[in-house]
Structure 1
Amino acid sequence: MNMKKRIHLELRNRTPSDVQELVLDNCRSNDGKTEGLTAEFVNLEFLSLINVGLLSVSNLPKLGKLKKLELSDNRISGDLDVLAEKLPNLTHLNLSGNKLKDISTLEPLKKLGNLKSLDLFNCEVTNLSDYRDCVFKLLPQLTYLDGYDMDDHEASDSDGEVVDDDDDDDEEGEDEEDGEEEDFDEDDDDDEEEVEGEDDDESGAEDEEEDIGQEGEVDDDDDDDDDDEDATAATLAAVEATKGEKRKRDPEDEDDDDDDDDDDDD
């Protein structure tokens, strides 16, 4: 996608004067120059042109409010004079990954009185001896070069160059808290399992007692039946014995009756 079309899409029905940040990374520039950018972007404060094939920044429009300019991973080798002329309030400039070879190519940046941060990572100029000392001497207005000041102190968050270590600590703290909560959950699960196990044991014991009670009741019934049978047998035996006695006594009774009859006849 070419730069003009990309700018049109980024506007999203806004006017250029409404835009404060414009990111055109990885689009295509014709002839190695910017196109579609105009002075109508009067309120633009942040412009990113990373990896768009720029050879020069000579046709940049005048952007009086621009503070941060990203030009990394292009093919710029010089002609930086226009930056002080067109971008007088620039505070952050990223030229890392370009074709800058000599300290002298950076001399036009002296006119950028508000420039606080300059990045030249992966530029050949960084391989020169005493590179940092030379740049700080050439550009005394600089606070940070490649993210560090003259005393090798890293740039602060307010300069947008460093990730906040406190955020990492907070995240680690949150992870630890999450871990502790998980441990508590696991302990709760263990307690629940133990309680369930105890309930199962108690239920099993109650079932066994019920079974024993039922067996005991069955045994008692069997005993009662046996007692009833014994009583019945004894009663029958007594009846049979009585009948036998009657049978034995009946003939005698008859003889006695006969004798009584004879006496009556006499």
Structure 2
Amino acid sequence: MDMKKRIHLELRNRTPSDVKELVLDNCRSNEGKIEGLTDDFEELEFLSTINVGLTSVANLPKLNKLKKLELSDNRISGGLEVLSEKCPTLTHLNLSGNKVKDLSTIGPLKKLESLKSLDLFNCEVTNLNDYRENVFKLLPQLTFLDGYDKEDKEAPDSDAEAYVGLDDDEDDDEDEGTEEDYDEDAAPGEEDDDDEEVEEEEDDKESGEEEDDDLSGEEEEEELKEGEEGFDERGEKRKRAPADEGEDDDDDDSDDDED
């Protein structure tokens, strides 16, 4: 997709004057120039044209409110003097991955009085002796070069800090909610009472099981006794006759035989 069509899509039925941020990364620029971008984008503060095949920024329109310009991974080797005229309030400029070979190429950036951050990663100029020291001398208005200041302290990422702050707040809210739930559900000492009740229930169950075992043993003994007594033909229990009674019956029978 070429740059003009991409800009049309990014507008999303808005007028150019309503746009503050415009991302055109990875689209195609004809003849290595910016196309479709006009002075009507008067409120534009952030423009990103990463990897679009630019060789020049000569066609950049007048963008008086532009603060951040992303030009990384293109083929720009010079012509940066137009930036001070077209983007006088620029504070951040990323030229990493371009064909910047010497300090004279970035010399015109001295006129960008508001420029605080400059990135030249993967440019040949970074291989020069005393590169960082010389760039800070050439551009005294700079605070950060390639993400670090003169004392090699890393530049803070304001966007990242904002997101981290939000995450911390959310975590705090979750922790507070957890503590509140804990306080409401179980006051100090209640958990111990609950544990004691559970232990008592378990003891009751165990004692109940032991009683059941004892009862089952007694029932077995009764069944054994009943088995010894026996049953008659009608299913009724048959009691054993005392031994003496049986002997008397035998005597009576003998007497009858004698008669």
Q: Same fold (TM over 0.5)?
A: yes
- Kindly report which structure 2 residues correspond to 1:1-266, keeping only aligned pairs within 5 A, or say none: 1-158=1-158, 167=164, 202=206, 208-209=213-214, 211-225=216-230, 228-231=238-241, 235=245, 237-245=247-255, 247-248=256-257, 251=259
Query: What are the Cα deviations for residues 98-138 of structure 1, in whole angstroms up to 9, with x where unaligned?
Result: 00001011111011010000000000000000111111011
Q: Distance in 2 between matches of 1:240 and 1:154?
A: 124
Contact 2:42 2:63 in 1 (8 A): yes
Q: Distance in 2 between matches of 1:32 and 1:240?
A: 138
In structure 2, give the amino acid aligned to 1:118. L
Distance 1:206 1:125, change over 3 A: farther
Contact 2:65 2:89 in 1 (8 A): yes
Distance 1:206 1:21, change over 3 A: farther
Deviates more, 1:92-101 or 1:205-214: 205-214
Q: Could you state the TM-score of these two structures normalised by the residue count of structure 2?
A: 0.75
Contact 2:68 2:92 in 1 (8 A): yes
Give 1:67 shift: 0.5
Give the structure with the higher percent helix: 1
Deviates more, 1:6-15 or 1:71-80: 6-15
Give 1:167 shift: 4.5
Contact 2:229 2:240 in 1 (8 A): no
In structure 2, give the amino acid aligned to 1:116. K
Contact 2:66 2:87 in 1 (8 A): yes
Q: Distance in 1 between matches of 2:211 and 2:17?
A: 84
Give 1:210 shift: 5.2
Query: What are the Cα deviations for residues 196-227 of structure 1, in whole angstroms up to 9, with x where unaligned?
Result: xx89x949767654543432231232244499
Q: Could you state the TM-score of these two structures normalised by the residue count of structure 1?
A: 0.73
Q: Distance in 1 between matches of 2:45 and 2:212?
A: 81
Distance 1:48 1:208, change over 3 A: same
Contact 2:95 2:119 in 1 (8 A): yes
> What secondary structure is seen at the aligned counterpart in 2 of 1:52?
coil
Q: Distance in 2 between matches of 1:48 and 1:204?
A: 78
Identity between Structure 1 and Structure 2 (%): 63
- Asked which structure has the greater CA Rg, the reply is 1
RMSD across aligned positions (CA): 3.3
Q: Distance in 2 between matches of 1:15 and 1:234?
A: 127
In structure 2, give the amino acid aligned to 1:219. L
Give 1:230 shift: 2.7
Distance 1:30 1:207, change over 3 A: farther
In structure 2, give the amino acid aligned to 1:215. E
List gaps (5 residues or longer) in structure 1.
175-190, 252-266
Query: What are the Cα deviations for residues 153-186 of structure 1, in whole angstroms up to 9, with x where unaligned?
Result: 111233x5xx55x959x89xx8xxxxxxxxxxxx
> What secondary structure is seen at the aligned counterpart in 1 of 2:93?
strand
Query: What are the Cα deviations for residues 54-81 of structure 1, in whole angstroms up to 9, with x where unaligned?
Result: 0000000111111000000000000001
How many residue pairs end up in the alignment? 223
Q: Distance in 1 between matches of 2:211 and 2:11?
A: 79
List gaps (5 residues or longer) in structure 2.
172-194, 232-236
**Partner residue of 1:180?**
none
